[in-house]
Amino acid sequence: MKTIFTGTFDELKEKLNSIEGDWDEIQANKKVLRSDGGVMNWFESTGTIQFQGKDTPKAKLENMVLSCLDPDYQSQVESELETTSSDNDVKNDAEDLTEDSETIGSAYLNGRFENSEIIIGLVSAVGTETTRVVTPLKDRLTHFKYNAIEIKVSSLLGSEGAPLSEYERIKSLMDAGDVRRKDTGHNSILAYGAAKLISDSRDESKPKRAYIINSLKHPDEV
């Protein structure tokens, strides 16, 4: 679950004052709270909150922070646990109805997923020749009767004149991406744009569709 706090750092400290721990305020954009083995990172520019540490202390700190930020958090957790328990009961009852129910494995063997839509996200360093991956990938998908479409994330960023060099072109796209993320407050904003491009290009008359997203540059986009 992604957590966002858009207030000031002082407001965040006030809300979390009941949590025993030490604040690290050295970095300009990132404030860190360490408590009993758990770590909370708050990124001031986006408001994003992330948790680190071993499973138990991390979960403990996350539970305390979310409880402080949202008074209704505990009741929501209890409600979700009750729903999950109920869903598991229904699932177990359904599994007991028949021993002949189709498994995922048999569904694959019987060709139930042979026309599934495929979405492939490429992750690459700046300057990588992605065509050396995209071209053979399209060829293989076409061999298996897929309609393969490349979705270029850079097409979402537009163009502000003709850069003088490849370096300037790449730099302008990187800067434009950073501006979009900052303006919207979402590091995954370009992934939403890619999803829109997929939606616009989807041809329902072709059941075997494959989309290659070229390329993802931020963890939240993945």
**Using one digit for the tens of pLDDT, what is the confidence trace for 6-58?**
899 999 999 999 999 999 998 888 999 999 999 999 999 889 999 999 999 99
Residue that is last in its domain, among 40, 73, 106: 73
The pLDDT of residue 166 is 81
Same domain, 54 and 141: no
Per-residue pLDDT at 23: 94
What amino acid is encoded at 15 in this protein? K
Instruction: Look at residue 91 and tell me if it is in a domain.
Output: no
128 and 206 assigned to the same domain? yes
pLDDT at 206: 87
Distance between CA 190 and CA 193 in Å, rounded?
A: 5
Q: Which of 73, 97, 127 is the last residue of a domain?
A: 73
47: left (phi over 0), alpha (psi -120 to 50) or beta: left
Distance between CA 172 and CA 165 in Å, rounded? Answer: 11
Cα-Cα-Cα-Cα torsion 101, 102, 105, 108, nearest 10 degrees, comes to 180
Residue 34 sits at φ, ψ, to 5 deg, of -110, 130
The answer to whether residues 136 and 191 belong to one domain is yes
- How many residues are given for the chain? 222
Single-letter amino acid code for the residue at 49: I
Report if residue 162 sits inside a domain: yes
Residues 193 and 126 placed together within one structural domain of the fold: yes
In a domain? residue 155: yes
Count of domains forming the chain: 2
Q: Which of 7-16, 64-73, 84-93, 156-165 has the highest mean pLDDT?
A: 7-16
| pLDDT of res. 95 | 56
* Domain-embedded: residue 179: yes
Q: Which of 73, 91, 124 is the last residue of a domain?
A: 73
Per the domain annotation, does 78 fall within a domain?
Answer: no
Q: Is the domain of 64 the same as that of 119?
A: no
Does the structure show a pLDDT above 50 at 99? no
Domain span at residue 201?
115-216
58: CATH: 3.30.310.10
Q: How confident is the model at residue 74 (pLDDT cuts 50, 70, 90)?
A: low
Residue 84 lies in a domain: no
The CA distances from residue 134 to 121, 123, 153, 201, 220, in Å, are 11, 12, 14, 18, 22
The rounded distance, in Å, linking the Cα atoms of 43 and 27 is: 10
